[in-house]
Chain A
Amino acid sequence: MSAKATRAGRSTGGERTITLEISRFRPEQDSEPVFETFDVPLRDDWAVLDGLNHVKDQLDGTLSFRWSCRMGVCGSCGMTVNGKPRLTCGTFLTEFGAGPVRIEPLKGFPVIRDLVVEIDDFLAKLSHVKPWLIREGEELPLTTEYAQTPEQLEAYKQYSMCINCMLCYSACPVYVLNPDFLGPAAIALAQRYNLDSRDQGDRLDLLNTDEGVWGCTFVGECTSACPKHVDPAEAIQRYKVTAAMRSVLPWARR
Chain B
Amino acid sequence: MSETTRTYRPRRDRVWFLRSRAYTIFVIRELTSVFVAWTIAYLLLLVAAALDGALPAFSAFAAQPWVIALNLVALAATAFHSVTFLNLAPKATVVRLDGWRVPAFMIQGGNHTAWLLVSAVLFWVVTR
Contact = CB atoms under 8 A, between A and B. Distances in A.
B128 interface: no
B26 interface: yes
Interface in B53-71: none
Given A217-B30, A219-B22, A237 B16 contact: no
Interface of B: 1, 5-10, 12-13, 16-17, 19-20, 22-23, 26, 30, 88, 91-94, 99
Contact of A110 (B9, B26, B30): B9
Chain B at the A interface: SS class:
loop
Contacts of B5: 27, 112
A176 interface: yes
Contact of B7 (A107, A118, A220, A224): A118
A177 B16 contact: yes
Interface string A115-149: 00010100000000000000000000000000000
Nearest to B92: A237
Interface of A: 25, 27, 30, 32-33, 83-84, 107, 110-112, 118, 120, 151, 154, 173, 176-177, 217-221, 224, 231, 233-234, 237-238, 240-241
A73 B32 CA distance: 40
Contacts of B93: 241
